[in-house]
Amino acid sequence: MVSQNNGKKRAVVTGIGVVSPNGIGVDQFTRNLRAGISGIDYIHSFDTSALQVRFAAHLERFDVNSVMDPRDLRRVGRLVPLALAACREAMAMAGLAIDPAAIEESQQTGVLLGTGGGGLGFIEPQYKAYFTGEGKYSPFTVPAGTHGNISSELSIALGLRGFSHVVSNGCASSTDAIGYAAMHIQRGDIPMILVGGADAPITEGILKGFELMRILASPTEPVTQSSRPFSLNRNGFVLGEGAWFFLLEDADHAAARGAKVLAEIRGWGSTCDAYHRVAPAPDGAQCARAISLAMQEAGIGPRDVDYVNLHGTGTQLNDTLETAAIHMALGPRAGEIPASATKSMIGHPQGACGAAGVAATILSLRAGFIHPTINLMEPDPQCDLNYVPHAAADSRGAQWAICNCIAFGSKNSALAVRVEPEK
C-alpha cells in the first residue's frame, strides 16, 4: 500500500455508519439507494396544523432510547443519538474498539462533525416553555443548544480523547468537516478521526422559517415525489434529518491493524461567491472552482471523473447553477458522466447533506451501481446532465467521484473521492 499522496499521508475510509430517512444502517441504506426508495413522509410527531408544509424526510420510527439512556436524552438535542448510532456503526465496520481506560490509545482518535442547525431543535421547546410557562425549562438549554456540545457528547460516549471539533458552515458543513479531517490525517496530526455530519432540524419553528423563505417544496401526492431535483416542475427542497459518519484513517495505520480500505479522500476545494447571505451566485463560477480545486489536489482531471454526487436540492436557482458549474469544471465530458441527486430520496438534511452524499457515493460504487435521481419526470431543458433518472445504473467499475455541496452564505465545497471496488 502506497502511504503517500504527493508527499502527504493518505486519508482512507475504513468504516461507515448511517442513520438515514431511507434506511437505517449501511446495508438498508445501500439497498434503498439502489431501489430508489424515498424517506419522505407526513410528520406525526408534532402538531403541523399551523404549517403549510406538513411532511419531511424524517426518522420518526427510529428508537433513540436504544441508543442512549432516557435520562441522558433529556439533556441533549435529537441529533446526538442519531450521530452516536452512526458513529458506533462506523467504528464497528472498521473493527475499532477503544477501551476508554487506555488513555494513550483513546488519544489517537479525534471527533469532527459538520452540522447546520446543531442544537436548535433542543432550544426551540425550551424557549417555548420559558415564554409561555407551559412545561419545564431545562437547565441544559445552554450546553445542549451549542454546536460544540455535539462533538463533546460523542467523545464522552465513545471514550475518545483526541480533538473534538464541530464545523458549522451551512449546507457545506459536513463536506468541509471531511475536508478538514483529511487534511489532519494527511499532515500526520492524528491517525484516526471519526468524521461526518448530523442534523435534526424538523421542528415547528425551523419549518416555519424555511416556509417564510419560500424554498420548501409544496405538497404532492404522494409526498414521496415532493423532492424533484432538476425537474422542470421542481419548486423547492424537502427538509430532512439524519447522520452519516466515517472512520477516516491514515493508510499506514489502517494497514498495520489489517483494516479494509473502502475509499480515500484525495482532494477538497472550498470557495465563496461573496454574493448574498442566502442565494448562491447564479453563474456557478465559484462552485466550479471548488470542484476544480478538489480535482487539482487529487491530481486528477475531468477525464478521470467517473461519477458526480450532486447537491441537487430541487430549488430553481440551485439546480441550474450547479448544472452550469459541472459543465465549467468538467468541460466536454460533463454531459456523459453519471451524476445523481441523493436528496431526491432523503430530502435535505442541511449540514449533514455532504456526508450523506459521500456515504451514498462510496456505498453505491462499491456495490457496483450508480444510484438514481428519482422523481425526474420532465427534465428542465437548462438541466442537461446525465442525472441517472428513475432507476439505478451499472457503475462499470467507476472509482473516481466528485461530491459537491452549495451552502447559504454563497459557500461552495467539493471533495474528490477514490472508491475501492468491492472484492
Does residue 14 form part of some domain? yes
Structure confidence at residue 5 (pLDDT)? 63
User: Could you report the per-residue pLDDT of 340-383, keeping only the tens digit for each?
Assistant: 999 999 999 999 999 999 999 999 999 999 999 999 999 999 99
Structure confidence at residue 278 (pLDDT)? 85
Q: Pick from 256, 286, 301: which residue ends a domain?
A: 256
Q: Pick from 230, 256, 282: which residue ends a domain?
A: 256
Beta strands in 67-191 (DSSP E): 109-114, 164-167
> Are both 281 and 252 inside the same structural domain?
no
Does residue 2 form part of some domain? no
Residues of the chain with pLDDT under 70: 1-6
Cis ω for the linkage preceding 338 (within 30 of 0):
no
- Which residue in the list 58, 147, 311, 371 is annotated as catalytic? 311
**CB distance 194 to 109 below 8 Å:** yes
pTM above 0.75, yes or no: yes
Cα 301 to Cα 244, 297, 331: the distances in Å are 28, 10, 10
Domain extent, residue 240, equals 8-256
User: Could you report the per-residue pLDDT of 303-340, keeping only the tens digit for each?
Assistant: 999 999 999 999 999 999 999 999 999 999 999 999 99
Does residue 147 form part of some domain? yes
Q: Pick from 202, 221, 256: which residue ends a domain?
A: 256
Is position 287 annotated as part of the catalytic site? Answer: no
Beta bridge partners of 403: 309, 415
- Which residue in the list 87, 348, 383, 403 is annotated as catalytic? 348
Structure confidence at residue 75 (pLDDT)? 95
Does residue 423 form part of some domain? no
> Are both 144 and 286 inside the same structural domain?
no
d(CA 307, CA 357): 12
Structure confidence at residue 4 (pLDDT)? 47
Is position 311 annotated as part of the catalytic site? Answer: yes
- Which residue in the list 58, 147, 171, 403 is annotated as catalytic? 171
How many structural domains does the chain have? 2
Instruction: Render 361-386 in DSSP notation, one character per residue.
Output: HHHHHHTTEEPPBTT-SSB-TT--SB
> Are both 59 and 196 inside the same structural domain?
yes
Is position 276 annotated as part of the catalytic site? Answer: no
Which helix H or strand E contains 291, and what residues bound it? Answer: helix 285-298
Does residue 35 form part of some domain? yes
Phi, psi of 19 (to 5 degrees): -130, 95
Q: Is residue 259 classed as helix, strand or coil in its secondary structure?
A: coil
> Are both 409 and 326 inside the same structural domain?
yes
| CATH code, domain with 320 | 3.40.47.10
Structure confidence at residue 2 (pLDDT)? 32
